[in-house]
Amino acid sequence: MVRYYCPYCNPKYQFQKQSSKGILICGLCGEDLVKKPFIRLNQIIALVAASSLLLPLIYTFIFLIKNQINPPNKNYQANSILTLFIKETIS
């Protein structure tokens, strides 16, 4: 259902009427009703701003939890010697 509103009247006291031509008009002042868009531009801007603040925080928490479950190997030297040994045995 498309929502309509009167730009001049208080939204609490608005009610819709249909004119004889089939146009929706305000029951209080008689002005034509205006369609209310489903998604407004300020909602899109607010969503982009909120996501730019929250996504790095969520990203940090995901990697923090991932490193707690599977801690990274801290013995880098032994790991590189093992790969060199494997490469020599294959060659």
Domain ranges within the chain, ordered by starting residue: 4-35, 41-90
Taking the model in full, what pTM does it have?
0.48
pLDDT at 70: 80
Mean pLDDT for 82-91 is 68
26-49 burial string, b = 16+ CB within 10 Å, else e? beeeeeebeeeeeeeeeeeeeeee
- Tens digit of pLDDT for each residue in 70-86? 877 666 555 666 666 67
Residue 1 pLDDT > 50: no
Query: Could you give the CA distance from residue 32 to residue 22 in angstroms, rounded to a whole number?
Result: 11
- Tens digit of pLDDT for each residue in 31-70? 888 888 888 899 999 999 999 999 999 999 998 998 888 8
